[in-house]
Amino acid sequence: MGRDQSLQAPPAQQPTAQALRPPASGLLQRLTTAVPESLYHQQDRPPEQTRLALQWLGTAGFRLLCQGHHLWFDPHLSRHSLSQLALGRIAPDPLRIRADVDRADAIAVGHSHFDHALDAPAIAKLHGSRVYGASDTLNYCRGAGLEESQLFEIQGDGRVYAEGPFQLTGYRSEHSPFLAGKVPFPGRIAKPLVAPAPISAWRVGQVLTLHAQCCGGSVHHVGSAALVEAELRGVQADVVLACTIGRHATPQFARRLVECLRPKVLIPCHWDQFWRPIDAPVKQIPGNDLQGFLNEVAAVPGAPEVRVLPMRGWTTIAA
């Protein structure tokens, strides 16, 4: 489908991110945790038969909706507190999952850090969903007792899965080395992992970017702010879901991302404090500098429209 036909034009009266830029204040802007309400794209939940819509649920978690089919990327609803993360053993929170996941035909996971993979098996058990991911994520799902028939490995070798109306694939990628030049919790999950466990048990595993194509357009999920252009040769996406935290460790991340995938719409994610409950007021991770990211995107020739979604916020890509 032609890109111009598959995407709705933004409402003419909607201010652009660039227009909302506060007075330049360097360090203050970079450290702020506030997000002005005026920045948010506001929309009600679309009808089930929508050709393509997206919902953001914090961290790098999204729901893709196409004609009644619900595909989730990196859902992370349990959101443990900093003290639980630092000192405790964590497990999915079934009450929080039930509250937000009313339907899940499938879940795809980009890498197996806890803030991306933790809730996938619990959702899959609740809804009988299929789970797609690298072997690391699937080993965690095995530890949680999922059936082999629910598990589908993405190796980044070009294999495309038909998941309802979606064509789903993954590309080998990397994780941002944001921790003093290193990737946190490196290594693989080589055998079944049983929760509760300390967060260090969720090793990063094989990192993937996820790509889903349907009748309403294509969506590419970049769950960590790094990029391997060589793996993405020839790939274009109508919508890019872009992790922003950790991007300062990846040179020119925003420019390279836009030039590589040439999206029409870009939705930033993984900028919120994912250790705060989903119902608490949303705050940025200090140093994330969402406004700075929006400025970096706006500076790229042919920059896409940017939509910043509020927590649980929806946006329609093709009605």
Residues that bind Zn ion (CB under 5 A): 113
Closest CA to 207 of 237, 246, 236: 246
* Nearer Cβ to Zn ion (241/317): 241
Dump the DSSP string for 41-53: ---PPPPTT-SEE
Provide, rounded to whole angstroms, the least separation between the CB of residue 52 and Zn ion: 26
What residues contact residue 159 under an 8 Å CB cut-off, 6+ apart? 169
Provide, rounded to whole angstroms, the least separation between the CB of residue 116 and Zn ion: 6
* CA dist., res. 277 & res. 30, Å (int): 23
DSSP lists the bridge partners of residue 153 as 133
Closest CA to 97 of 149, 58, 68: 58
Provide, rounded to whole angstroms, the least separation between the CB of residue 296 and Zn ion: 21
* Nearer Cβ to Zn ion (144/245): 245
Closest residue to Zn ion using C-beta atoms: 113
* Nearer Cβ to Zn ion (166/202): 202
* Nearer Cβ to Zn ion (92/165): 92
Closest CA to 169 of 149, 186, 185, 153: 153
Provide, rounded to whole angstroms, the least separation between the CB of residue 17 and Zn ion: 25
Whether 48 contacts 65, CB under 8 Å: yes
H or E, element range at 5: helix 3-6
Provide, rounded to whole angstroms, the least separation between the CB of residue 60 and Zn ion: 8
What are the backbone angles phi and psi of residue 196, rounded to the nearest 5°?
A: -75, 150
* Nearer Cβ to Zn ion (195/222): 222
* CA dist., res. 75 & res. 63, Å (int): 8
Provide, rounded to whole angstroms, the least separation between the CB of residue 157 and Zn ion: 22
Provide, rounded to whole angstroms, the least separation between the CB of residue 224 and Zn ion: 5
Whether 174 contacts 224, CB under 8 Å: yes
* Nearer Cβ to Zn ion (185/314): 185
* Nearer Cβ to Zn ion (80/113): 113
The terminus-to-terminus CA distance of the chain in angstroms comes to 14
H or E, element range at 139: helix 135-143
Provide, rounded to whole angstroms, the least separation between the CB of residue 54 and Zn ion: 21
Dump the DSSP string for 100-130: H-S--SEEE-S--SHHHHTTHHHHHHHHT-E
* Nearer Cβ to Zn ion (113/220): 113
